[in-house]
Amino acid sequence: MTEEILSPLAGNVWKINVKEGDQIEEDDEIIILEAMKMETPIYAPSDGKIKSLSVKEGDSVEEDAVLAILE
Amino acid sequence: MEISSNLPALLQSVGFFSVTPGMIIMWGIALLLTYLAIAKQYEPLLLLPIGFGILLANLPLTGLMEVNEGLLWRFYHYGIQWEIIPPLIFLGLGAMTDFGPLLSRPSLIFLGAGAQAGVYVTFFIAQYFGFSLEEAATIGIIGGADGPTTIFLAAKLAPQLLGTVAVAAYSYMALVPIIQPPVMKLLTSKEERMIRMKKSRKVSKLEKLVFPIVSVVLIILLIPASAPLMAMFMLGNLIRESEVVERLKNAAQNELMNIVTIFLGVPIGATMNAESFLQASAIFIFLLGLMAFVVSTATGVLLAKLMNLFLEDKINPLLGAAGVSAVPMAARVVHKVGAEADKKNYLLMFAMGPNVAGVIGTVIAAGTFLTILR
C-alpha cells in the first residue's frame, strides 16, 4: 500500500531530511518547505518507508503537489 | 591678524560648539534604531535609513533640513510631501501581492476589515487625551500596521508627528511576533487554534486579472481620497497578474521599490529633530500605537469567532489576527501560533487572505480620515 505525501502549501523545497528507502515514523520531519520566507516542516503522515521522492531541494512546488511516496 | 580677529566666528562655524543635549539624546535614539536594524534585523529596510536620518538631522549647522535649501528637506518635500513615494511603494507592493488566498475565500475580507477596529478605537482615545482630530487619526492609523499608509496620512494631516508615528509603526511591525501571540492565545482555546481550514478553492487567472480592475473602481468610487494609494496598488497588481510585462513587474518589485525605500527612510528620520521629538507626547504616541495594535489583533480574532457562529466550515479564529496588514509577518505569526497547537496545521496561506485584505482595509481607513478631516 502506498501513500502520497502532498504539499500542504505552495513554496520552495528548502531541505529534504530523508532519502529513498529510509524507514520513517509518523511525525518525523521529512521535508522542510520555505514559503513567505518561513521554514515550514512537513511531517510524515504515518510510519513507513520512503518509496520515492518526487522533488529535490530548490524545487518550487504548488499546493497539493506530490512530495514523496510512502509505503 | 585677520585670522585671530575672526577666530570666534570661525569657532562658531564649527559644529562641535553648537551640539545641544537634546541632539545627543537623539544620537542615542538614532544609534538604537540602527542597532536594532543591524543586530536584530528589526525592519532593517526602513529602520536603518531612518536611524541614520535621525543622526544626520541632529548634527548642528548642516542645513540639511533647511526649507528650500537642504538636501534632506528636498527628499522630504518632493518625495513625501508631494505624495510621490508612498504611492510608489504601493505600486511595488501591488506587484508583490498575490490576492489568490483572498479570492479563494472572499469572506475572509471581513477579517481584514475587522482588524482595523484598533485604528478607530485609538482615534477616539487619542482625542480624549487632547490630541487634535488630525493628530488622533494619524496616531490611530499606526494600528493598521501599514508603514506607507501611515506616512501618507501623517504627511497630509499631521506632518509634525510624521517621524514619531513612522518609527512607532515600523517598530511595532518588527515586534508583531512578540505583541500578537499573547493576545491571540488569550482569546482562543486550544481547540479553536487547532481548527483546520477546509481546502481552498482554486482561483482562475481571469479572477486574478479582474480583481485589481474591479476593486480599484469600487474602492475609489466609495472613498475617492484613497485614490493615490489604491490606484498604484492595483496598477502594480495588474502588472503582476497580466503576465505580459515581466520587466515592469520586476522593476516595480525590485529596482523601483529599493530606490524609493532609500528616499523614504532617510528624510523620515530627518524630520525627527530634538525639539519636535523629545516631548512627553512622543511616549504617549508610542503607547497609543501599541494599544492600536493590540486592539486590532483582538478584534480580528473576536470577529473570526463571531463569524464561526454562522459558518458551516469553521475558520480558525487565529486568522483574524492576520487582518492587521503587516504583510506577511502577521500571517507568519498566525501560522506559528497555529502550529504550536497542532504542528500539522498549515495556516500560512489561509492567513495571507485576511492579511492582504488588511492592507486594503488600512488604505480605506486612511481615506476615510482624509475625507472627514479635510
Put the strands of the sheet holding A66-70 in their side by side order. A3-6, A66-70, A48-53, A23-24
- The reply to whether B18 falls in a domain is no
Contact between B49 and B265 (Cβ < 8 Å): yes
Placement of cell 559644529 in the chain: B15
| Kind of pairing between the strands at A3-6 and A66-70 | antiparallel
**Closest-CA residue to B274 (of B2, B83, B58):** B58
- The reply to whether B347 falls in a domain is yes
Q: What is the pLDDT of residue B200?
A: 81
| Three-state secondary-structure class, residue A52 | strand
Question: Per-residue pLDDT tens for B23-58?
Answer: 999 999 999 999 999 999 998 999 999 999 999 999
Domain count, chain B: 1
Interface test with chain B among A36, A43, A60, by most B beta carbons within 10 Å: A36
Give, in degrees to the nearest 5, the angle at Cα B323 between B320 and B324: 125
| Partners of residue B344 in chain A, C-beta under 8 Å | 8, 43
Q: What is the pLDDT of residue B247?
A: 97
Q: What is the pLDDT of residue B4?
A: 62
- The reply to whether B77 falls in a domain is no
| Containing structural domain, residue B314 | 83-373
Dihedral angle computed from the Cα positions of residues B236, B238, B241 and B247, in that order, rounded to the nearest 10 degrees: -50
Average pLDDT per consecutive 10 residues, chain B (374 residues; last block may be shorter):
70 87 96 95 93 96 94 96 96 96 92 94 96 97 94 96 95 93 97 92 95 98 97 98 97 96 95 91 94 96 96 94 92 96 94 96 96 92
Question: Per-residue pLDDT tens for B258-275?
Answer: 999 999 999 999 999 998
The partner residue sitting opposite B348, judged by closest CB among A9, A27, A43, is: A9
Output the CATH code of domain A3-70: 2.40.50.100
Phi, psi of A26 (to 5 degrees): -50, 140
Q: What is the pLDDT of residue B182?
A: 97
- The reply to whether B335 falls in a domain is yes
**Helices and strands: H and E segment counts in chain B:** 21, 0
For residue A13, give the C-alpha cell. 523545497
The partner residue sitting opposite B332, judged by closest CB among A8, A36, A43, is: A36
The partner residue sitting opposite A40, judged by closest CB among B200, B346, B352, is: B346
| B332 with A41: Cβ contact below 8 A | no
- The reply to whether B202 falls in a domain is yes
For residue B252, give the C-alpha cell. 516595480
| B344 with A36: Cβ contact below 8 A | no
Q: Model confidence at A16, in pLDDT bands (50, 70, 90)? A: very high
- The reply to whether B130 falls in a domain is yes
Sequence-distant (6+) residues with CB within 8 A of B361 are B112, B113, B115, B116, B144, B323, B325
| B348 with A43: Cβ contact below 8 A | no
Q: What is the pLDDT of residue B3?
A: 60
Helix (H) or strand (E) run with residue A53 in it = strand A48-53
Amino acid letter, residue B367:
G
**Closest-CA residue to B136 (of B121, B149, B151):** B121
What is the C-alpha to C-alpha distance for residues B322 and B328, in angstroms, rounded to an integer? 9
Q: What is the nearest CA distance from B336 to chain A, expressed in angstroms?
A: 9
Sequence-distant (6+) residues with CB within 8 A of B374 are B156, B157, B225
- The reply to whether B7 falls in a domain is no
The partner residue sitting opposite A43, judged by closest CB among B328, B332, B343, is: B343
Q: What is the mean pLDDT of residues A50-57?
A: 93
Q: Model confidence at A24, in pLDDT bands (50, 70, 90)? A: very high
| Partners of residue A44 in chain B, C-beta under 8 Å | none
- The reply to whether B305 falls in a domain is yes
| B335 with A43: Cβ contact below 8 A | no
